[in-house]
Amino acid sequence: MSAVASALAGLRVVVSAGPTYEDIDPVRFIGNRSSGKMGFAVAEAAARRGAQVTLVAGPVALATPAGVRRVDVRSAAQMHAAVMAALPADIYVGAAAVADFAPAQAAASKIKKRDDRDGLVLELVRTRDILAEVAGHPQRPRMVVGFAAETDNVEGYARGKLARKRLDLIAANQVGREGGGFESDRNTLLVFGRDGSAQTLGPAGKGEVADGLLDVVERFWAASPG
Ligand code: CTP
Ligand code: CA
């Protein structure tokens, strides 16, 4: 870090990271492919810049970054509650891969396969969109940053989410491309701003990409009304 004081020093930053697990029964769940590394890197980089960081983490195998307050959750509903409890904040970064659908009800005991059964139909219901709710919250953080994981039409879908969810920035990952994603330690992010700006961060280590993202956040922070 440079000797110049960061614009993030003293700010309250909430970061969500990792997947969520939606239980089907006591031994099974529906989850997303996410290691949590990108969100943890953002939390670590923000703490290093002097921010007061709350990291709401889904089930991941990662150590808590230095100086970060960590809240562990499992399901999308728990992540929603933990994020809302962490408000008010100055900046929200939604890096978690939140399940879009969860079983309508988790079975109390293990679902058996049984010989009279050829298949199994699970009823799924939509989860709440944490990011969109934070952006529409009466105590909206001055900056709301989303992530988007896309396999195709990355810019189109990412810009659509930016507008629809009323975000300040969205960082898009192209899933299945060289140089990043999921379990990798490296990543490439395409960052789109509400001002129409676009930039590419990486391919680089997730720590470096996180720092690049925070540089963009600092520029937007300086330019945003508050
Ligand atoms: N997100 C969230 N709560 C959800 C679903 C998504 O907060 N229930 C957030 C993610 O943390 C991410 C952003 O929304 O910052 C975009 O997630 P993504 O899965 O790419 O987009 P969706 O809006 O869920 O749309 P789709 O999965 O259909 O592309
Ligand atoms: Ca989704």
In a domain, 179, yes or no: yes
Residue 20, domain CATH: 3.40.50.10300
User: Ligand 1 center to residue 55 CA distance, Å?
Assistant: 17
User: Which ligand 1 atom lies nearest to the CA of residue 170?
Assistant: 15
Q: What pLDDT score was predicted for residue 5?
A: 82
Q: Give the residue numbers marked as catalytic.
A: 32
pLDDT given at position 183: 72
CA-to-CA distance for 153 and 179, rounded, in angstroms? 18
Residue 172 lies in a domain: yes
- Structurally, the chain folds into a number of domains equal to 1
Residues of the chain with pLDDT under 50: 1-2
> For 3, which DSSP code?
S
Biggest CA pair distance of the chain: 69
Pocket of ligand 1 (CB under 6 A): 16, 76, 94, 96, 98, 100, 127-131, 146-149, 161
Residue 112 covered by a domain? no
pTM to 2 decimal places: 0.95
Q: Is residue 38 part of a domain?
A: yes
Burial bucket for residue 121 (CB in 10 Å: 0-12, 13-18, 19+): exposed
Alpha helices, DSSP H only, in the chain?
37-48, 76-86, 130-135, 154-164, 206-223
Q: Is residue 107 part of a domain?
A: no
Residue 150: inside a domain: yes
Helix, strand, coil % over all residues of the chain, rounded to 5 = 25, 30, 45
Instruction: Report yes or no on 116 lying in a domain.
Output: no
pLDDT of residue 179: 55
| Atom of ligand 1 at shortest range from CA of 134 | 7
What is the residue range of 20's domain?
12-99+121-223
What separation in Å is there between the alpha carbon of 157 and the centre of ligand 1?
11
The predicted-structure confidence for 163-208, as pLDDT tens digits, reads as follows 999 999 999 988 876 556 567 788 999 999 999 999 999 999 999 9
Quick check: is 130 in a domain?
A: yes
